[in-house]
Amino acid sequence: MDFKNEKLLRQSATMGSGRARKPNPHFAMVAQTALAVAVIWVFCVLLVHVSHSRRFYADAPLATPLRQYYSNGYLIVSSNGGLNQMRSGICDMVAIARYMNATLVVPQLDNTSLWQDPSKFEDIFDVDHFINSLRDEIEIVKEIPPEMQQIQIQLEMEKHLSMPPRSWSDISYYTDQIAPERLKKNKILHFEKTDNRLANNGPIEMQKLRCKANYNALKFTSPIEKIGSKVVKILRDKGEFLVLHLRYEMDMLAYTGCNEGCSVEEANDLQALRYSVPWWKKKNINSTSTRLQGLCPMTPEETALTLKALGVDRETQIYIAAGNIYGGEKRLASLRAAYPNLVKKEKLLPPYELLPFKNYSSQMAAIDYMVSLESDIFFPTYGGNMATLVEGHRRYLGFKKTIQPNQKALVNLIDKYRKDLNWREFEAGVKKAHANRYGNPVRRRVMPEKPKEEDYFWSNPQECLIL
């Protein structure tokens, strides 16, 4: 949805009838000056409003006042998961630290999970911008001060330092239990995990702080922004483009237990990977049943049919924001046949420009995140962390068009189409199933007793949006 500046309407007033008066030059000069000042003021207000509503990040003022408070201790956090799971977790930890009156240590990133990315926080995000943007909310330091390091070692030896916070917890869990029992007492606390440790709903000021951390403070480093902007320019110079978050990657298929369209050998490889990852708790998964419930990533073939039914033009540029597609180019053949202008960053840029990021999956994902925000349409084929965060960020940027696939309905329609449903009926069914799934303003569904099933805060941060 593009913002358009409203035209300023000028009203002219006529003087009363009667004998013509000689104009007062001093009065005319004052009136002209006042009018000029008013026009400039209105223009500045409009400019500020538009720029704040459209920018990726709002730069923190250099004179942002430092919040004065008595710190209850240092909070160390170890983010877990891929880039976007870590991103949402970091924002939650900012809010938690603020409410516990803690001093936050710059978060540690996950270097041990499946992706084996050794990137540090400062390799992906502008650490100084992060610290300065939030200085009016919490104190953030790059490391524990030397005088506290011995205490940290002692607590670690006594196993009093680290803990995994409880998932989907209200902020009161942290303020009423964790702060007095752990943080105030020991002065240092380490959270071992950050994923989904804060409930979707809470005080309005807490929600706004989560948004501030995500949309203002977490700014990518200059090298990442430079490459991301270059990819966007290359695409934009050729016209409109759609970003396809095609989650048909080996790790996602293994995790979900989905093997639609795979050979027996490929299905066995996926199962072997699933059983080899200890923190993936669900092992025995029925692929057919999972797919019928709409819980599988869409295949390239299913994606092509859906885009065509939704009216996406064949000549549309489609940028694939994903890692290596399982099955490679062979598996992409049907999608490429339907949409020949299929590209990835590896095809748009010379190898030497991507070389600094090549072995860092989170940095590569950051580039895709930037391109996804700037696209005319964003289409995720699975509701994972990147899909939900980009959806919410695009809402924040002005409800930019995001198609949210109704996967359960799509599976049913596609299976019928493969049997006896004609194209006209299939097309009508797909459009009907997505009538209200374009990233429009809506209210989150709240289910206090089932926090895992209610609408995810980060996909629709309504408290931070103008509805």
What DSSP line would sit under 237-293, residue for residue?
A: TT--EEEEE---BHHHHHHHT--TT--HHHHHHHHHHHHH-TT-------HHHHHHT
pLDDT at residue 348 is higher than 60: yes
Residues 202 and 315 in one domain: no
Residues 122 and 265 in one domain: no
pLDDT at residue 34 is higher than 80: no
pTM of the model as a whole: 0.85
Using one digit for the tens of pLDDT, what is the confidence trace for 127-150? 999 999 999 999 999 999 999 999
Give the Cα separation of 120 and 112 in Å (integer).
Answer: 12
Burial 248-262 (b: 16+ CB within 10 A, else e): bbbbbbbbbbbbbbb
When pLDDT is averaged across residues 77-100 and rounded to a whole number, the result is 97
Residues 85 and 124 in one domain: yes
Give the Cα separation of 161 and 313 in Å (integer).
Answer: 56
| Closest to 366 (Cα-Cα) out of 224, 245, 158 | 224
Give the Cα separation of 288 and 280 in Å (integer).
Answer: 19
When pLDDT is averaged across residues 275-280 and rounded to a whole number, the result is 90
Range of the domain at 250: 222-464
| Closest to 261 (Cα-Cα) out of 327, 338, 339 | 327
Which pLDDT belongs to residue 452?
A: 86
Which pLDDT belongs to residue 449?
A: 87
When pLDDT is averaged across residues 348-364 and rounded to a whole number, the result is 96
Residues 429 and 407 in one domain: yes
Using one digit for the tens of pLDDT, what is the confidence trace for 210-225? 999 999 999 999 999 9
- Higher-pLDDT residue of 17 and 311 is 311
Average pLDDT, the chain: 89
Residues 380 and 249 in one domain: yes
Residues 190 and 332 in one domain: no
Domain boundary among 217, 250, 269: 217
Sign of CA dihedral 173, 176, 178, 179: positive
> Residue 101: left (phi > 0), alpha (psi -120 to 50), or beta?
left
Give the Cα separation of 165 and 93 in Å (integer).
Answer: 11
When pLDDT is averaged across residues 392-404 and rounded to a whole number, the result is 97
Give the Cα separation of 397 and 54 in Å (integer).
Answer: 5
pLDDT at residue 99 is higher than 60: yes
When pLDDT is averaged across residues 232-261 and rounded to a whole number, the result is 96
Q: Tokens 């050998």, residue?
A: 265
Residue 52 pLDDT grade (very low, low, confident, very high; cuts 50, 70, 90): very low
The one-character DSSP state at 318 is: E
**219 three-state secondary structure:** coil
When pLDDT is averaged across residues 399-414 and rounded to a whole number, the result is 98
From residue 343, give the alpha-carbon distance in Å to each of 245, 305, 348.
12, 18, 7
Residues 190 and 230 in one domain: no
- Higher-pLDDT residue of 63 and 461 is 461
Q: Is residue 139 one of the residues assigned to a domain?
A: yes
Our count of domains for the chain comes to 2
Q: Is residue 24 one of the residues assigned to a domain?
A: no
pLDDT at residue 55 is higher than 90: no
Residues 289 and 332 in one domain: yes
Which pLDDT belongs to residue 68?
A: 86
When pLDDT is averaged across residues 79-105 and rounded to a whole number, the result is 97
Which pLDDT belongs to residue 116?
A: 81
Q: Is residue 161 one of the residues assigned to a domain?
A: yes
pLDDT at residue 253 is higher than 80: yes
**310 three-state secondary structure:** coil
pLDDT at residue 62 is higher than 70: no
Residues 201 and 239 in one domain: no
Which pLDDT belongs to residue 125?
A: 99
Q: What is the chain's alpha carbon radius of gyration, rounded to the nearest angstrom?
A: 26
Among the residue ranges 42-56, 106-120, 384-398, the one predicted with the least confidence is 42-56
When pLDDT is averaged across residues 8-20 and rounded to a whole number, the result is 34
Using one digit for the tens of pLDDT, what is the confidence trace for 289-298? 999 999 999 9
Q: Is residue 68 one of the residues assigned to a domain?
A: no
Q: Is residue 453 one of the residues assigned to a domain?
A: yes
pLDDT at residue 186 is higher than 70: yes
When pLDDT is averaged across residues 6-10 and rounded to a whole number, the result is 29
Q: Is residue 300 one of the residues assigned to a domain?
A: yes
- Higher-pLDDT residue of 367 and 54 is 367
- Higher-pLDDT residue of 113 and 335 is 335
Give the Cα separation of 254 and 285 in Å (integer).
Answer: 10
Residues 236 and 298 in one domain: yes
Give the Cα separation of 335 and 339 in Å (integer).
Answer: 6
pLDDT at residue 46 is higher than 80: no
When pLDDT is averaged across residues 389-411 and rounded to a whole number, the result is 98
pLDDT at residue 40 is higher than 90: no
pLDDT at residue 431 is higher than 60: yes
- List, in sequence order, every residue forming a beta bridge with 402; answer none if it has no partner: 378
Instruction: State both tokens at 189.
Output: 């606390």
Residues 262 and 400 in one domain: yes
- Higher-pLDDT residue of 112 and 309 is 309
Domain boundary among 199, 217, 235: 217
pLDDT at residue 10 is higher than 70: no
**57 three-state secondary structure:** coil
Degrees to nearest 5, angle at CA 138 with 137 and 142: 140
Domain boundary among 217, 238, 261: 217
Q: Is residue 364 one of the residues assigned to a domain?
A: yes
pLDDT at residue 365 is higher than 80: yes
Q: Is residue 3 one of the residues assigned to a domain?
A: no
- Whether the Cβ atoms of residue 336 and residue 353 lie closer than 8 Å to each other: no
pLDDT at residue 63 is higher than 60: no
Residues 288 and 372 in one domain: yes
When pLDDT is averaged across residues 252-279 and rounded to a whole number, the result is 94
Q: Tokens 């070692």, residue?
A: 153
When pLDDT is averaged across residues 122-126 and rounded to a whole number, the result is 98
The C-alpha torsion from 438 through 440 and 445 to 446, rounded to 10°, is 130
From residue 453, give the alpha-carbon distance in Å to each of 85, 188, 199, 457.
18, 34, 12, 12
